[in-house]
Amino acid sequence: MRQFVAGLLLGLAAMYWYAYQKDAFLQRASDWFAEASADPGAKEKMDKMISRRH
C-alpha cells in the first residue's frame, strides 16, 4: 500500500510539472545555453531548436 501511494503521488507530481512547469524550465535552460555560448546568434538558434509552439 505504501508503494502504491508513493507511486500515485510521484505520478501526480510528474503530471503537474509537465503541465505547468515544463515551458518555464525549457525557457530557462534555453537562455542559459544561449548565454554560455560564444556564438553571437545563439539565442535565435536556441529559440529555433527548442520551439515552444504546439
Write the burial class of residue 40 (CB in 10 Å: 0-12 exposed, 13-18 middle, 19+ buried).
exposed
pLDDT surpasses 70 at 53: no
Helices (H), the chain: 2-16, 22-36, 42-49
CA distance 6 to 22: 22
CA distance 32 to 53: 20
Torsion of CA 9, 12, 14, 17, to 10 degrees: -120
pTM (2 d.p.): 0.56
Write down the pLDDT at residue 1. 94
Write down the pLDDT at residue 22. 85
Segment 4-45, tens digit of pLDDT:
999 999 999 999 988 888 888 888 888 888 888 888 888 888
